[in-house]
C-alpha cells in the first residue's frame, strides 16, 4: 500500500502538463499510464491524421515548438514524438503499463494489482476513449462492415464498394475524402457541423481564432457551454493543399452529401430533410466569425498588411438530395461511424455524475468531490481547452486550485 | 435605422422561456409532454377533430377553450369540401411553428418585427395515393416555406433568424425526420 499526494491519471499532453505544474509547486505527483506516454496517439489514431492546429500553436508549459515548420501540421508520429520528448523534458514520474481499475472515495486507487491512496486525483484520460455511436447503428444490416475512427487505419482495410460515412466533424470529412480518393464511392450523412476555412486573408484560421480572443473565451462566459462542449470539431484538415475538406470541395469530387441519419427500416437508411438548413446555419456561423475577424483586424490596424476580406461560396445542397439509401443492395459495403467520441471514466467510483453520466465540474474542478480534477476535455476552461495548447493554461489554473486545496487541508 | 429607447416587444416572454429551460433541466420528468387530438367520422371523407387537453409539467393541462377542425377533401376529389384537406392541415403546423419561432428568436436577439407573413407549399404527385404508380410516394415530395419579414434588421440577420427558427422548431423536426408511428385498433 502506498500513500501519495497527487495522482494524475494518463500521460497524454494534458496529464504531463499537469505533472509539470505540480512539480513546479513541489507537489510530487505520480502519473499512471495504462500504456506508454501518448498512448491514444500511438494506438487509436489513423496514420494519415495530422493535428488541426498549426505547429506554432503546439505549446505546453515550458515547451514551445522549435521545429523547422511552424506553419505545418503535425502528423500523428510527430505528435507521439513531441509528447514523449516533453515527458522526458519535464521528467514526468510516469508509471507506464499501469491500468487504473478503480478510483473511489477518499481516493483509493487500484492500479494493476496495487492500491494507493491519494489526496488529490487529476483525470487526464481525455475525451476520446470510446466512439459515440447512435442507437440507429443496431439496425445496420449484418452484411455491412462497420468501423469507427478508433478502428479505422486506411482505406485498404475496407471491402470494395460504397462507404457511408456518418458525421461531418474534422474526422468525418477527412475520412470521407481519404476513402473517396481510394475509389470507393462515399456518401456522407450529417447534421449539425462547424464550417471553417483552413486559411483566411493569408493566415491560418487558428491564428484568427487566437488573435480575436475567441479561443480564450472562458467557459463561464460562453452563452451555452453545454452546447459548446458537444460541438463537432471544425471541418478542417491539417494541410495547406487545396484539397480542403469543405463540403463544396467534397461534393465537387463526387462525394454525395445527405442529411442526418434518422433511422434504418428494413435495411433502408432514412436521412433528415433538414440538410439545407443545417448547411445554412454552418455558413451563417462561419460568416459571423469572419465578420468578427474582419472587425478585429480593422481595430488592430492590420487592414493594410493583410489581403482584403472576402467570403466563401455558400454550401451547395442539391435539391435532389436523396432521403433514403438502401443498405441491402450491395452498393454500400461499409458504414463508418464518425459520430464523435466519449470519455471512459467507468472505473471512477465517486458519485460525481449528472443524469446524462457526465462528470459535473466547474471548469475542471469537481466541486462535489474536493481534490478531484478533470483535464483535457473540450471547452473545459476556455475554447482552447479542446486543443493541445489549452492544457497549458488549464493545468496552471487547476494546479493552483489543487495546491490551495492541499494547503487548506493541512491547516 | 433609428435608435430608440423603446424596448423590443414582439409579444414573446423570452424570460419565461429561459426560466422554463432552467427549471426543466433540473426537473426533467416535468419536461415530458403528450399532445393529443380526437377525431370523429361524420360522413364520406368528412371528419371532425377537437383539441383541448394535453399532458405536461407533470399534470393534465387544458387549453383556454376547445379548438375544432373540420377535415374533408375538395369537391374535385368527389368530396363535399366541409373543411381543409388533411394535407393542408399538415402545412399549417410547420408554418405556425416556424412563425412562432421567428418571433421568439427575434425577441431574444433584440429584433423588433413589424410584420411577418409566410406561405407554405407542399408538392405532391397524387398518383401515389391513387396507387397508380408504385414509384411515387404518397406524401409530399418537398415543402417550401417563404417568409416575408419587415423588421429593423439586416438581410443577414433575418436569414439567421429564419435558420434558427428551423433549428428550434418541433414541427420542422417532425416533418424532416423519421418518426415512429403506431396505428392500433382499440
Subunit contact A274:B177, Cβ cutoff 8 A? yes
In tens, the pLDDT along A100-129 reads 999 998 899 999 989 999 999 999 999 999
Question: In chain A, what are the helix, strand and coil shares in percent, each to the nearest 5?
Answer: 30, 20, 45
Q: What is the pLDDT of residues B50-99, one digit of tens each?
A: 999 999 998 999 999 999 999 999 999 999 999 999 999 999 999 999 99
Q: What is the pLDDT of residue A243?
A: 56
For the beta carbon of residue B32, count every other beta carbon within 10 angstroms. Answer: 11
CA distances from A354 to A347, A357, A358, B25 (A): 16, 5, 5, 11
pLDDT digits (tens, 9 = 90+) for A394-408: 999 999 999 999 998
Cβ–Cβ contact B175 with A under 8 A: yes
In the predicted structure, residue A24 carries a pLDDT above the cut 50: yes
3-state secondary structure of A208: helix
Q: What is the mean pLDDT of residues B27-38?
A: 92
Residue numbers of the domain that contains A112: 2-129+343-410
- What are the tens digits of pLDDT across the range B48-58? 999 999 999 98
Q: Are residues A147 and A229 in the same domain?
A: yes
Average pLDDT over residues A372-396: 97
Q: How confident is the model at residue B22 (pLDDT cuts 50, 70, 90)?
A: confident
pLDDT at A51 over 80: yes
* Section A264-285 average pLDDT: 95
Out of A272, A281, A319, the one facing B177 most closely (by C-beta) is: A272
Per CB-CB distance under 8 Å, the chain A contacts of B166 are: 274, 277
Across the interface, whether the CB atoms of A284 and B163 are under 8 A apart is answered: yes
How confident is the model over A174-195, as a mean pLDDT? 96
Domain containing A107 — which CATH number?
Answer: 3.50.50.60
Chosen for mutation from A190, A264, A279, A281 (greatest number of chain B CBs closer than 10 Å) is A281
Q: Which residues contact B95 (CB under 8 A, 6 or more apart)?
A: B118, B119, B120, B145
Q: What is the pLDDT of residue A369?
A: 95
A198 and A146 both lie in a single domain: yes
| Residue contact B178–A262, C-beta within 8 A | yes
For residues A94 and A223, state if they share a domain: no
Chain A nearest C-alpha distance from B172 (Å): 8
Return the pLDDT at B8: 86
B182–chain A Cβ distance below 8 A for any pair: no
Give the pLDDT of residue A106: 87
Select the residue from A274, A291, A317 to test the B interface by mutation, using most B Cβ atoms within 10 A.
A274
Strand (E) or helix (H) holding A399:
helix A390-410
What percent of chain A stands above pLDDT 90? 93
Q: Cα(B134)–Cα(B125) distance, rounded to whole angstroms?
A: 12
DSSP3 helix / strand / coil % (chain B, rounded to 5): 35, 30, 35
Q: Which of A337, A371, A400 is the last residue of a domain?
A: A337
Return the pLDDT at B1. 44
- Same domain? For A188 and A329 the reply is yes
Q: What is the mean pLDDT of residues B158-173?
A: 96
Q: What is the predicted pLDDT for the residue at A205?
A: 96
Which domains, from first to last, does chain B contain?
85-176 (3.30.300.20)
Residue A214 has pLDDT above 60, yes or no: yes
Among residues A337, A361, A395, the one where a domain terminates is A337
Please tell me whether residues A241 and A365 are part of one structural domain: no
With 90 as the cut, is the pLDDT of residue B21 above it? no
| Per-chain mean pLDDT for chain B | 92
Cα–Cα distance measured from residue A222 to residue B108, given in angstroms and rounded to the nearest whole number: 16
The answer on A402 and A261 residing in a single domain is: no
Q: Pick the residue of A134, A277, A281, A294 with the most B CBs within 10 A to test the interface with B by mutation.
A: A277
Give the residue from A288, A306, A337 where a domain finishes. A337
pLDDT for residue A409: 67
- Judge if A180 and A262 occupy the same domain: yes
Give residue A411's pLDDT: 47
Question: Based on the domain organization, do A193 and A291 belong to the same domain?
Answer: yes
Which of A279, A395, A409 is closest to A14 using CA atoms?
A: A395
Distance CA B177, CA A72 (A): 41
Residues of A in contact with B173 (CB under 8 A): 274
Query: Above 90 in pLDDT, residue B25?
Result: no
B134-161: average pLDDT: 94
- In the predicted model, is pLDDT for residue B4 greater than 90? no
Amino acid at each position: 500500500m502506498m500513500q501519495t499526494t497527487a495522482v494524475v491519471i494518463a500521460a497524454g499532453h494534458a496529464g504531463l502538463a499537469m505533472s509539470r505544474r505540480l512539480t513546479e509547486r513541489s507537489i510530487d505527483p505520480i502519473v499512471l499510464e495504462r500504456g506508454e506516454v501518448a498512448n491514444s496517439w500511438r494506438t487509436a489514431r489513423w496514420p494519415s491524421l495530422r493535428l488541426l492546429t498549426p505547429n506554432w500553436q503546439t505549446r505546453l508549459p515550458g515547451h514551445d515548438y522549435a521545429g523547422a515548420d511552424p506553419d505545418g501540421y503535425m502528423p500523428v508520429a510527430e505528435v507521439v514524438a513531441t509528447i514523449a520528448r516533453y515527458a522526458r523534458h519535464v521528467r514526468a514520474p510516469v508509471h507506464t503499463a499501469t491500468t487504473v481499475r478503480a478510483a473511489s472515495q477518499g481516493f483509493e486507487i487500484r492500479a494493476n494489482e496495487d492500491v494507493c491512496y491519494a489526496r488529490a486525483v487529476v483525470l487526464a484520460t481525455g475525451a476520446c476513449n470510446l466512439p459515440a455511436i447512435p442507437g440507429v447503428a443496431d439496425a445496420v444490416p449484418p452484411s455491412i462492415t462497420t468501423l469507427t475512427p478508433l478502428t479505422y487505419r486506411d482505406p485498404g482495410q475496407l471491402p470494395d464498394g460504397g462507404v457511408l460515412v456518418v458525421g461531418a466533424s474534422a474526422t468525418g470529412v477527412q475520412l470521407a475524402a481519404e476513402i473517396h480518393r481510394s475509389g470507393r464511392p462515399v456518401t456522407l450523412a450529417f447534421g449539425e457541423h462547424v464550417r471553417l476555412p483552413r486559411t483566411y486573408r493569408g493566415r491560418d484560421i487558428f491564428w484568427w481564432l487566437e488573435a480575436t480572443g475567441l479561443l480564450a473565451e472562458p467557459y463561464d462566459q460562453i452563452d451555452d457551454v453545454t452546447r459548446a462542449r458537444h460541438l463537432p470539431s471544425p471541418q478542417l484538415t491539417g494541410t495547406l493543399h487545396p484539397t480542403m475538406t469543405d463540403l463544396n470541395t467534397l461534393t465537387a469530387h463526387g462525394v454525395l452529401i445527405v442529411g442526418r441519419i434518422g433511422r434504418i427500416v428494413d435495411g433502408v437508411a432514412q436521412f433528415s430533410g433538414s440538410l439545407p438548413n443545417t448547411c445554412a446555419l454552418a455558413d451563417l456561423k462561419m460568416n459571423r466569425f469572419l465578420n468578427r475577424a474582419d472587425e478585429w483586424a480593422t481595430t488592430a490596424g492590420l487592414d493594410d498588411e493583410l489581403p482584403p476580406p472576402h467570403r466563401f461560396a455558400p454550401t451547395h445542397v442539391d435539391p435532389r438530395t436523396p432521403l433514403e439509401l438502401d443498405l441491402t443492395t450491395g452498393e454500400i459495403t461499409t458504414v463508418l461511424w464518425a459520430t464523435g467520441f466519449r470519455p471512459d471514466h467507468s472505473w471512477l467510483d465517486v458519485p460525481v455524475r449528472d443524469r446524462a453520466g457526465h462528470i459535473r465540474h466547474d471548469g475542471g474542478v469537481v466541486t462535489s468531490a474536493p481534490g478531484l480534477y478533470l483535464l483535457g476535455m473540450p471547452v473545459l476552461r476556455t475554447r482552447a481547452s479542446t486543443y493541445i495548447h489549452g492544457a497549458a493554461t488549464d493545468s496552471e489554473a487547476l494546479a493552483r486550485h489543487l495546491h490551495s486545496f492541499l494547503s487548506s487541508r493541512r491547516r | 435605422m433609428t435608435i430608440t429607447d423603446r424596448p423590443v416587444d414582439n409579444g414573446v416572454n423570452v424570460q419565461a422561456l429561459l426560466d422554463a429551460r432552467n427549471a426543466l433541466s433540473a426537473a426533467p420528468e416535468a419536461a415530458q409532454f403528450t399532445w393529443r387530438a380526437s377525431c370523429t367520422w361524420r360522413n364520406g371523407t368528412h371528419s371532425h377533430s377537437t383539441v383541448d387537453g394535453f399532458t405536461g409539467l407533470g399534470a393534465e393541462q387544458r387549453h383556454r377553450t376547445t379548438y375544432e377542425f373540420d377535415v374533408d377533401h375538395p369537391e374535385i376529389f368527389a368530396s363535399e369540401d366541409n373543411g381543409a384537406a388533411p394535407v393542408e392541415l399538415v402545412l399549417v403546423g410547420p408554418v405556425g411553428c416556424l412563425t412562432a419561432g421567428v418571433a421568439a428568436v427575434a425577441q431574444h436577439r433584440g429584433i423588433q418585427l413589424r410584420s411577418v407573413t409566410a406561405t407554405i407549399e407542399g408538392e405532391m404527385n397524387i398518383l401515389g395515393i391513387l396507387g397508380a404508380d408504385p414509384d411515387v410516394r404518397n406524401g409530399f415530395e418537398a415543402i417550401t416555406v417563404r417568409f416575408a419579414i419587415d423588421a429593423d434588421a439586416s438581410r443577414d440577420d433575418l436569414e439567421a433568424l429564419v435558420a434558427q427558427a428551423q433549428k428550434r422548431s418541433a414541427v420542422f423536426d417532425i416533418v424532416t425526420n423519421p418518426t415512429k408511428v403506431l396505428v392500433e385498433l382499440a
